Structure 1
Amino acid sequence: MEKALWYLIAGTRGGANRARIIRLLDERPRNANQLADELDVDYNTARHHLDKLADHDVIESGGGDYGTLYFLTDRFERNRETFEEITQHL
């Protein structure tokens, strides 16, 4: 997970938005539309970042197709310190 977080947050152009998504989901679960609005990005951009985070087991989805909510995974929670360390370097 540590390598995945470094890649997702510090190693790519979209890392800042991914970090913002993680921060928002830490407050409460949200769907892709809500995240796009709060990040002021296109819906497809938000979906792209959500897909990348889900592919690396940082977030998981719950609910149906429409209005699917996203949550931080237990695996991410066990590696939160790494995330905090990475975001200090941004």
Structure 2
Amino acid sequence: MEAVLWQTLAGTRGGPNRVRILDALDERPRNANRLADDLDLAYNTVRHHLDVLEDNEIVTSTSEDYGTVYLPSDRARTNWETIQDIISQVDS
């Protein structure tokens, strides 16, 4: 999982936005529209990054309907120390 986290959050051009999204979801679960508003990102950008995060089992969702709420996955929580390391390096 550590390699997946580094690649997904730090190894790609979209990594910084994925870090911002994951950090926001750590504060509280939200839907894509709320994330877009809170992070001042385009809705389609947020949706793309959520799909990548979900495909890599970093976030999980409540359903697949409109208004789906996202939150960090159990796997992400288990590896939260690695995520914090990545966040500190991406923010630097």
The two structures have a TM-score, normalised by structure 1, of: 0.94
Comparing 63-72 and 41-50, the one that deviates more: 63-72
User: What is the CA deviation profile of residues 22-57 of structure 1, one whole-angstrom value per residue up to 9, with x for unaligned ones?
Assistant: 111111110000011111111110000000000000
The amino acid that maps onto 2:33 is N
User: What is the CA deviation profile of residues 61-85 of structure 1, one whole-angstrom value per residue up to 9, with x for unaligned ones?
Assistant: 1045111000111110000011111
Runs of 4 or more, structure 1, over 2 Å off, are none
Tell me the equivalent position of 2:59. 59
Tell me the equivalent position of 2:69. 69
In structure 1, C-alpha distance between the alignment counterparts of 2:64 and 2:83, rounded to whole Å: 29
1:41 aligns with 2:41: yes
The alignment's C-alpha RMSD in Å is 1.0
The two structures have a TM-score, normalised by structure 2, of: 0.92
In structure 1, C-alpha distance between the alignment counterparts of 2:62 and 2:87, rounded to whole Å: 26
**1:70-89 matched pairs, under 5 angstroms:** 70-89=70-89
**Unpaired runs of 5+ in structure 2?**
none
Q: Secondary structure at the match of 2:46?
A: helix
Percent identical: 56
The amino acid that maps onto 1:21 is I
In structure 1, C-alpha distance between the alignment counterparts of 2:66 and 2:42, rounded to whole Å: 17
